Structure 1
Amino acid sequence: MARTSGPETREKLIRAAEELFASRGVDGAQLREIVARAGQSNPSAVQYHFGSRAGLLDAVMAGRQARTERVLAPLLERAGDDLRGLVTVLVTAEASELRTERGRRCLRISAQLSHESGVRTGTPHPTLAGTAYWRLIERTGACLAAAGLPRPLLLERLDLALTVIGAALADRARQYLDGTEPLTDEALFLADLAGTTTALLGAPSPTPSGPSGPAEPTDSS
């Protein structure tokens, strides 16, 4: 059997992890399964190349982010600062992963990690720091702040919007991988996703009703 180099083994482990994290879930896939799928005999191969399960997952997501960045960065340079335009850039860039089986698997993985972006704290995950993706999030947040949205609500909405986009694209990816016929063509699907996400982000700030919820109607009789 031909001996593979370190970088080749690392890439095989990443590819195997993409397949199993997508099909079994980030928490469901076993490291021994990943090692076996990658054709490795050393049971500690993941620890040797990535340090831990989390390190392997970060490597998978770093590759996925690099591919998305190549699409997103030039789109963001040409984008204005209107909310619909920024959301459309994000949806377009994320949807580029639908083009390949590898990208479809990674969409299914990243949807499981949507709340780990760092949006809620304002501090990006290390794989997002300094990226065009994070600059887009900041510019979108600035739009919402200019509209008068309080910062805590602004952060929650941004996080929710990323979750909605991620879940929708992951489900579309699942349909493609399974050979299921989608209800709508891709152009309509993406346009609707951008429109509904923009509406979610741009909804007026609600009037707080207090911790007990809306007041009960009083009996005037």
Structure 2
Amino acid sequence: MPRRTASEQGPSTREKLIRAAEEVFAEQGVHGAQLRDVVRLAGQGNPSAVQYHFGSRAGLLDAVMAARQDRTERVLAGLLAADGSPEATAPDTPATARRLLTALVRAEASELGSTRGLRGLRISAQLSHESGVRTGVPHPTLAGTAYWRLIVRLGDCLPALPRPLRLERTDLVLTLVGAALADRAGQYLAGTAPLTDEELFLADLAGTSLAVLTAPAPGPGPDPTT
């Protein structure tokens, strides 16, 4: 009797655990989720299945985020190529920042089209400050990606800002985009009708993010002694 291929055998235990973790982390929160619920939902009898396949909760979470990053990376690469790769070729101007932010928002929003993507958005919004932007060292799942190169390029479009403020501003924008998309994802999962259609929502999110990113640096405050 011929052996079945991996695709014919169905999802591997590792893939089952990743899919289950996406559901549990999205519903219970990254830090509140119980690994035993992940194992049970994945149909595994061994309570140590997560440790065996991923080493730890953090390893499982990294695998969940890596799967999501792979999906958005493919979309982002296509958007940048269609726009002439402004991340690499265009001058550092607000117009370049606008194109980069639009590509970023559109790539992230591609996750709104599936239940798996909706859950991924809910999870990643809880991890926005772990990207590595504030230190300039990318999280391992972002190292070498078009996504990370885009983030760095966004900072380069803010030459008038001191580097610490530039890093904080970029991190803030990523948090804003992540939170807005996670909120939208939550509405879709709950069957709630959003206030705006998706096209308007995405255009406004890109525009709002650009306004935050390119706002002038605050001047000195009033002298409290006067």
TM over 0.5: yes
Q: Contact 1:21 / 1:109 at 8 angstroms: preserved in 2?
A: yes
Tell me whether 1:203 sits opposite 2:215 in the alignment.
yes
Please tell me the residue identity of whatever aligns with 1:107: L
Tell me whether 1:59 sits opposite 2:63 in the alignment.
yes
Q: What is the CA RMSD across the aligned residues, in angstroms?
A: 1.6
CA distance in 2, matches of 1:65, 1:172: 19
CA distance in 2, matches of 1:139, 1:43: 44
Gap regions ≥5 residues in structure 1 = none
Please tell me the residue identity of whatever aligns with 2:220: P
Give the CA deviation at 1:208.
3.4
Tell me whether 1:153 sits opposite 2:165 in the alignment.
yes
Tell me whether 1:26 sits opposite 2:34 in the alignment.
no
Tell me whether 1:128 sits opposite 2:118 in the alignment.
no
Q: Contact 1:18 / 1:60 at 8 angstroms: preserved in 2?
A: yes
Give the CA deviation at 1:215.
2.4
CA distance in 1, matches of 2:141, 2:181: 20
Give the CA deviation at 1:7.
6.4
Tell me whether 1:117 sits opposite 2:118 in the alignment.
no
> Corresponding residue for 2:187?
175
SS at match of 1:144: coil
CA distance in 2, matches of 1:76, 1:150: 27
Gap regions ≥5 residues in structure 2 = 1-5, 91-95
CA distance in 1, matches of 2:193, 2:151: 32
> Corresponding residue for 1:105?
119
Give the CA deviation at 1:217.
7.8
Q: Contact 1:79 / 1:85 at 8 angstroms: preserved in 2?
A: no
CA distance in 2, matches of 1:129, 1:52: 21
Q: Contact 1:76 / 1:136 at 8 angstroms: preserved in 2?
A: no
After superposition, give the CA deviation of every residue in 1:148-194 in whole Å (9 maximum; x if it has no partner).
11100000000000000000000000000000010000000000000
> Corresponding residue for 2:206?
194
Moved segments of 4+, more than 3 Å: 4-7
CA distance in 1, matches of 2:28, 2:191: 18
